Chain A
């Protein structure tokens, strides 16, 4: 998994990071994890999810302030939202304020 802090990050990189993290947590092959399916449908639990979020925040240098899954349930949605927020220069990400 890429541990290098990014300077400008793309949607694809975030998507790839998330898919790799899910595959590792669930001991699955990365190509079996689909980015357009709800993240929780893979069987990932809340503790694994917040662990992944913590790792993601550390990598991206941002902070997620609210549960993003209600609005962005799939890896695709989540990656796109984070990339959009970062591109807008925000580091405190609140999905409830992004309508």
Chain B
């Protein structure tokens, strides 16, 4: 342990007394049992001096001591689980949570007037570690300037004018900028500044600066840019001067609930959510709608975590979501889901509009018009949010229709609510079966309608695609409807039983409403402890491999099968899938990234009507991102060659995807070119053969089926001796994907093996494409096996040496089928295997992959691949023989 280092420890009193810091170290110890308040001490120093102003407090009671111990244990477990399960790793939740948990005991030991500055310091520290110090400096400069404008000694409307001018200037700067600090600053100010300005206007004087700054610079906001719109008045009113075990426990409860939400979200996303392409009947459609809505749990989980962290700092903020899946009407869902948003819209849009409108028309009409005004505001506000978080302003008419359509339903429902509020029901309090049934049906109906709304919003083309690719007939299947109705009846019965139980409980002695989630520490510890055990390697090693796969998948923050497949192969546009977004922005971001990739690749390809579908444009030459891309006259990313090879030359044909083609690197930087140079300059190889030519037949989006077709249609014309077939993790997935596509287009007519698979799968000329896509994955291994066997047969017939190269893309991609399965099939078919599985192990991913596109190798990556291929060929030099 180095001298001068700060050590933070959580200790009960006996251990705290024994603990002695090393020479020169600053040791911060949580001394747990100081009554109901947490205090700070340094062992070895007299308690009164160390405890400062906290000295003299009453001695701890055992119950207070144990409560603090429980809180400390829960927080420790929560941080461990976030780390072990990589929860929100891409947002660096662990960093934020660790700083927040380490910081709050110190926060409460500081004099009151210093705490706000310390809180802002912690936000800066978190931001510095997550965004980098330069980005943090920019974020704080912009944010402080905005707050500063609010404090100028000018009349209210002058300050508003200056803020608007600053907003316009910042919007101009934001457009087209990809700096990391923008989403964070945007998230901190885009709505909260409006509330701040509005609330401080009605206050007799401006709040002190140290009270305002933490309102904007909230610690969890650095991590979660999609953040609850915390109301300024609520923030002021709920701030506690002392930390009680109850507040702290409440914060822990929210944190644990947030973690649970995020894990459930992960399970839905990885295991349950069916890709839109697999929908082929009413039940799979319902499953998609329901699970797609379930992805909203990510937003709820993030909000719970954010509020939980703020609770630790004494902000007793109200809940952000309230059992929204159980909403029983349109206004009910509005008041249960994202409650802070509802409050914001109510305060800034509904109330002002209602009170103004009622001067001119009756209250009922004012209610309806004010609700429509709220939904109009919601439509604009969502685009406003997307602008600050992503830098684009997607103001679409489709969204307007959707939001205003929802507004009509909510307005009608609000009218009923208003009438009910004016004339409250004072009827019987006895249980009524019919009322219970009506409530359950309303809840089920609301759930389905909101799921439908969510799917329409996140995947606008879903219904059109279903109608086009599947057809109505499949959704009218009587058997499926029977099953569907049985399922719904079961849900209804369960709902009725739950309703009865809740009704009885509400009449019992415990009906008095108290703080939510109180005294849950034992449950939290049990749950977090179970998760801790679940993540132990010993457990994973002792369960069946299928279970282990699922358990490991749950423990990492990676792309889902659909997302990963899309990115590896660039099939995003073909899957037509923007659906699996949980937040407002994730889908937009993915779409943007992929559109860019597609445009560049498509620029130098042209379509074909056969199984190859596309090919590189002959003689194309252009510069992309500083890299020269040249295509020769034979549609190859290769220098110009003659079809007939010179005597004494050994020709190696490279078959593969965009990685082989060399997407993103210059002509001379592809591993194909480098391999050729090295083979011709290495005496060991030139002794074997006087000359080598490596022919690059790699084309982006070429799956095994297309590579096989290319080999038969074109490669043979160049008289190769060796075929190097380069495989990545997507061998199985991409083969199935292309097979489904070709079957739909009727392009599989010359391959008895594949035709046989189609027959087994029950696919014929009349089968809708969506159904084909759904059925073929069950035959994935057979499809790849057929393809490999055919390649081997072809190579044997023409005396070519077939070599299968295992070249995985670094990173975790949960794509159907493991690389081992593909490798096994290749071996079984008769390929020679070159193992490059570890080619990137000695490097950081960022070193060997392109910065902006982690699925293609960088210049250095190509160098490493060429070098590794050379080594492997040296080890298997007997394969390098001319025909």
* Chain A interface residues (CB < 8 Å from chain B): 24-25, 28-29, 32, 38, 40-41, 43, 45-48, 50-52, 54-55, 64-67, 69-71, 73
Would you mind naming 25 contact pairs between A and B with Cβ atoms under 8 Å apart? Answer: A28-B513, A32-B512, A32-B513, A38-B233, A38-B237, A41-B237, A45-B346, A47-B331, A47-B367, A48-B421, A50-B363, A50-B418, A51-B417, A51-B418, A51-B420, A54-B363, A54-B421, A55-B421, A55-B422, A65-B355, A67-B355, A69-B351, A70-B199, A70-B202, A73-B233
Chain A residues contacting B347 (CB-CB under 8 Å) are 70
For residue A25, which residues in chain B have a CB less than 8 angstroms away from its CB?
421, 424
Please tell me if the beta carbons of B234 and A38 are within 8 angstroms of each other in the complex.
yes
Contacts of A65 in B (CB 8 A): 355, 359
* A47/B237 in contact, CB under 8 A: no
Q: How many pairs of A and B residues are in contact by the CB < 8 Å rule?
A: 65
How close is B636's CB to chain A, nearest CB, in angstroms?
Answer: 66
Residues of A within 8 A of B237 (CB): 38, 41
Hey, which chain A residues are within 8 Å of B335, CB to CB? 45
On chain A, the residues within 8 Å of B420 by CB distance are 51
Residue in contact with A45 in the complex, picked from B233, B342, B363, B424, CB distance below 8 Å? B342
Interface size in chain B (residues, C-beta < 8 A)? 31
Closest Cβ–Cβ distance, residue A76 to chain B (whole Å): 14
Q: Are the C-beta atoms of A46 and B421 separated by less than 8 Å?
A: no
Task: Write out the residue numbers on chain A whose beta carbons fall within 8 Å of the beta carbon of B359.
Answer: 65
Judge whether B655 is part of the interface by a CB distance below 8 angstroms.
no
Report the minimum CB–CB distance from B322 to chain A (whole Å). Answer: 8
When chains A and B are docked, how far (Å) is the Cα of A16 from the Cα of B198? Answer: 30
- On whether the beta carbons of B512 and A64 are closer than 8 Å, the reply is no
A65 to B357, CA, bound (A): 10
Chain A residue with the shortest CB-CB distance to B199: A70
A71: chain B residues at CB < 8 Å are 202
Identity of the chain B residue whose Cβ is nearest the Cβ of A70 in the assembled complex? B202
Taking CB as reference atom, which chain B residue is nearest A67?
B351
* Bound Cα distance A51, B414 (Å): 11
Contact of B346 among A38, A46, A64, A66 (CB under 8 A): A46
The answer, yes or no, to whether B589 is at the interface (CB within 8 Å) is no
In the complex, the answer to whether A67 meets B352 with C-beta atoms within 8 Å is yes
Note all chain B residues with C-beta closer than 8 A to A64: 355
A-B contact sample (16 more), CB < 8 A, given A38-B233, A47-B417: A28-B513, A29-B512, A38-B234, A38-B237, A43-B318, A45-B346, A47-B418, A50-B363, A51-B421, A54-B363, A55-B421, A64-B355, A65-B359, A66-B352, A67-B352, A67-B354
A28 neighbours in B (Cβ, 8 Å)? 513
Query: Does B594 sit at the interface, judged by CB under 8 A?
Result: no
Please name the residue on chain A nearest to B374 by beta carbon: A46
Docked CA distance A65–B358 (Å): 8
> What 8 A-B pairs come out closest when comparing CB atoms?
A51-B421, A67-B351, A46-B346, A47-B417, A70-B202, A45-B335, A66-B355, A51-B422
Check A54 against B351 for contact (C-beta < 8 Å). no
Contact of A46 among B199, B350, B363 (CB under 8 A): B350
What chain B residues lie within 8 Å of A70 (beta carbons)? 198-199, 202, 347
B637-669 residues at the A interface, CB under 8 angstroms:
none
A50 and B421 in contact, given A45-B342, A69-B351 (Cβ under 8 angstroms): yes
Residues on A with beta carbons closer than 8 Å to the beta carbon of B399 = none
Closest to A52 in B: B421
Does any Cβ of A come within 8 Å of B343's Cβ? yes
Please report the C-alpha to C-alpha distance between residue A51 and residue B234 in the assembled complex, in whole angstroms.
Answer: 23
User: In the complex, what distance in Å separates the CA atom of A87 from the CA atom of B308?
Assistant: 46
Most chain-A Cβ atoms within 10 A of its Cβ — which of B350, B351, B421, B424?
Answer: B421
B233 in contact with A47 (CB, 8 Å): no
Chain B neighbourhood of A55, CB < 8 A: 421-422
Give complex CA distance A65, B360 in Å: 11
Encode B179-221 as 1/0 by CB contact (under 8 A) with A.
0000000000000000000110010000000000000000000
**B773-785 interface bits toward A, Cβ cutoff 8 Å, 1 = contact, 0 = none:** 0000000000000
Contact indicator B414/A47 (Cβ below 8 Å): yes
| Bound: A54/B363 CA distance, A | 8
Cα distance, A70 to B352, chains bound together (Å): 10
Give which listed residue, B233, B367, B512, contacts A50 with CB less than 8 A. Answer: B367
> Considering the chains assembled together, what is the distance between the CA atoms of A38 and B233 in angstroms?
9
Closest A residue, CB atoms, query B425: A24
B414-472 CB contacts (< 8 Å) to partner A: 414, 417-418, 420-422, 424
Of A32, A47, A55, A66, the most chain B CB neighbours within 10 A belong to: A47
CA of A38 to CA of B352 in the docked complex: distance in angstroms? 18
Cβ–Cβ contact B318 & A41, under 8 A: yes
CA–CA, A32 and B514, complex, Å: 10
User: Which chain A residues border B356 with CB–CB below 8 Å?
Assistant: 66
A47-B343 Cα distance, complex, nearest whole Å: 12
Nearest-neighbour CB distance to chain A for B132, whole angstroms, equals: 39
- Give 1 or 0 for each of B225-249: 1 = CB within 8 Å of chain A CB: 0000000011001000000000000
CA gap between A41 and B317 in the complex, in Å: 10
Whole-angstrom CA separation of A64 from B234 in the bound complex: 24
In the bound complex, residues from chain B placing their C-beta under 8 Å from that of A66 are 352, 355-356
Select one of A32, A41, A48, A54 contacting B234, CB under 8 A.
Answer: A41
Instruction: Please give me the residue from chain B that is nearest to A45 by CB atom.
Output: B335
Max count, chain A CB within 10 A of own CB: residue among B346, B355, B367: B355
Could you tell me the distance between the alpha carbons of A43 and B422 in the complex, rounded to whole angstroms? 18
**Distance of A29 Cα from B355 Cα, bound (Å):** 30
Tell me which residues across on chain A come within 8 A of B318, comparing CB atoms: 41, 43
Q: Is the CB of A50 within 8 A of B202?
A: no
Q: Are A54 and B422 in contact (CB under 8 A)?
A: yes
Which of A29, A41, A65: most chain B CB closer than 10 A? A41
B508-540 residues at the A interface, CB under 8 angstroms: 512-513
In the complex the two chains form, what is the Cα distance from A50 to B364 in whole Å? 11
**Residues of B with C-beta under 8 A to A73:** 233
